[in-house]
Structure 1
Amino acid sequence: MFIAYAVVGILLAAALTFSAAATFTRQEKVVGSMSALGVPDTWFPRLATLKALGAVGLLAGLWVPLIGAAAAIGVILYFIGAAITHLRAKDYAIAPVVVLGLLGVAALVLRLASA
């Protein structure tokens, strides 16, 4: 189970790192999408920080199971919020949000199973 957690955790951490970097550097595609959903510009640094911390926590979870589980829970909650934001804005193209949220669930289950 640990190897499965390592694979899922590293892949999810990579996706979160890419997304956080794109948000921090205000890449047009990411910022435009978030702005269209009604996310205030002042939230961008906070949201990017949360994604970056999730990535760091998932990687730290390779050595400290509790941190990995906590990070996975945080990632799940983040993407639940993202899904709600999409739905409230009547944007139903939420497949990436759902996939990343489910990867968070998989990371949590695998981290708990391998502890």
Structure 2
Amino acid sequence: MFAAYVTINILAALFTGIAAVTYLINHAYPREQMEMKRLPISWMPRLGATLAVGSLGLLAGFLVPVLGTLASLGLVLYFIGAFIAHMRVGSRKLVGWAVFFATVVAALVVNLAYHGPW
């Protein structure tokens, strides 16, 4: 169980950390996604910061387990919001979203399984 806990949390932190950087450096792909979802470009730094904090929270969870659990829960909620944004504009391009969502849900599950609810 420990190996799964470490592997999934590091993988989720890596995925969300890379996504955070693309938002924070104003990369073309997240900009296109924002435009497609008809969201204000001014939200990009906030969304990037949210992903960065979630990524760091997953890593901090190795020292303070409740932080990892809360970070993974926050990231699950973040990606539920992303799904809603996709559905709002009728987008069916959900492969990227599904990879991120599955990863953060797995992180939440292993955090809860390894440490318990609190």
Task: Identify the TM-score tier after normalising by the shorter chain.
Answer: over 0.9
Letter in structure 2 aligned against 1:103? T
Aligned to 1:79: 79
Query: Cα RMSD between the aligned structures?
Result: 1.0
Letter in structure 2 aligned against 1:101? F
Aligned to 2:47: 47
In structure 1, stretches of 5+ residues that fail to align are none
Q: Percent identity?
A: 37
In structure 2, stretches of 5+ residues that fail to align are none
Tell me by how many angstroms 1:86 deviates. 0.5
Letter in structure 1 aligned against 2:20? A
> Which runs of structure 2 are paired with 1:98-109 in the superposition (5 Å)?
98-109=98-109
**1:19 matches 2:3:** no
Tell me by how many angstroms 1:2 deviates. 2.4
Query: Aligned partners of 1:113 and 1:29: how far apart in 2?
Result: 35
Q: Between Structure 1 and Structure 2, how many residues are aligned?
A: 115
Q: Which runs of 4+ in 1 moved over 4 A?
A: none
> Which TM-score applies when normalising by structure 1?
0.94
Tell me by how many angstroms 1:88 deviates. 0.7
Structure 1 stretch 79-88 or stretch 21-30: which is displaced more? 21-30
